Chains A and B, each alone.
Chain A
Amino acid sequence: NAGVMQNPRHLVRRRGQEARLRCSPMKGHSHVYWYRQLPEEGLKFMVYLQKENIIDESGMPKERFSAEFPKEGPSILRIQQVVRGDSAAYFCASSPVTETQYFGPGTRLLVL
């Protein structure tokens, strides 16, 4: 059973471009969570999704950020018009129903 997969592992974007981060949960997991780790800071919750539903987006910035978890395919975290302050490591986690969250290796976004 492969773990949580995230791609790309590293992403470089110029200011104003779009960033798309993908997360494939572990097999059998229907719950996905996104967290952001800013440089020298702790991980902060962004959004919690189930298939085709956003359950809790209380940690998502109000603008430019969106997330989806379609019926088929990976979960996508989309950042429009990136700014330098978006540079961070973005981690995805998945869980079966409720219980332990398993984390992916993260995507490190660098905005130039």
Chain B
Amino acid sequence: KQEVTQIPAALSVPEGENLVLNCSFTDSAIYNLQWFRQDPGKGLTSLLLIQSSQREQTSGRLNASLDKSSGRSTLYIAASQPGDSATYLCAVTPTGTASKLTFGTGTRLQVTL
């Protein structure tokens, strides 16, 4: 059974800092891995999707890496801003089909002025 863990559970940083969020998964047989953002009381916004054959993806100030063999992914946020404050979720899709996602419990990020 796939299990996804995210560390840390919560993080507070001052504006402008670079930061790294971690995600680990127990079964390396994945189809892809996604990073989402969830704002309080809102839905999920997909930030980055990494296919199992890829090592990283970048979008603006965000960079996500994937090391499938070790079961790890990181989300790097450069020059953090207060608007980045949210909960960040990683989720993996099992091999063979893009069906159910298994989510981590998230990292709650607060960027302070």
A-side residues, CB < 8 A to B, are 33, 35, 41-45, 48, 55-56, 58-59, 91, 95, 98-106, 108
Contacts and interface: CB of A to CB of B under 8 A. Distances in A.
B43 A104 contact: yes
Size category of the binding interface on chain B: 20 to 34
B2 to A, nearest CB: 10
Contact of A56 (B4, B46, B99): B99
Interface of B: 4, 34, 36, 41-46, 49, 89, 91, 97-106
A43 B44 CA distance: 10
B98 A95 contact: yes
B23 to A, nearest CB: 12
A56 B100 contact: yes
A48 to B, nearest CB: 5
11 contacts: A35-B101, A42-B4, A42-B103, A43-B103, A45-B101, A56-B99, A95-B98, A100-B49, A100-B98, A105-B42, A106-B43
B98 A98 contact: yes
B99 A102 contact: no
A99 B103 contact: no
Given A58-B100, A98-B98, 18 more contacts: A33-B99, A33-B101, A35-B103, A42-B89, A42-B103, A42-B104, A42-B105, A43-B89, A43-B101, A45-B100, A45-B102, A59-B100, A91-B43, A100-B34, A101-B98, A101-B101, A103-B45, A106-B42
Contacts of A104: 43
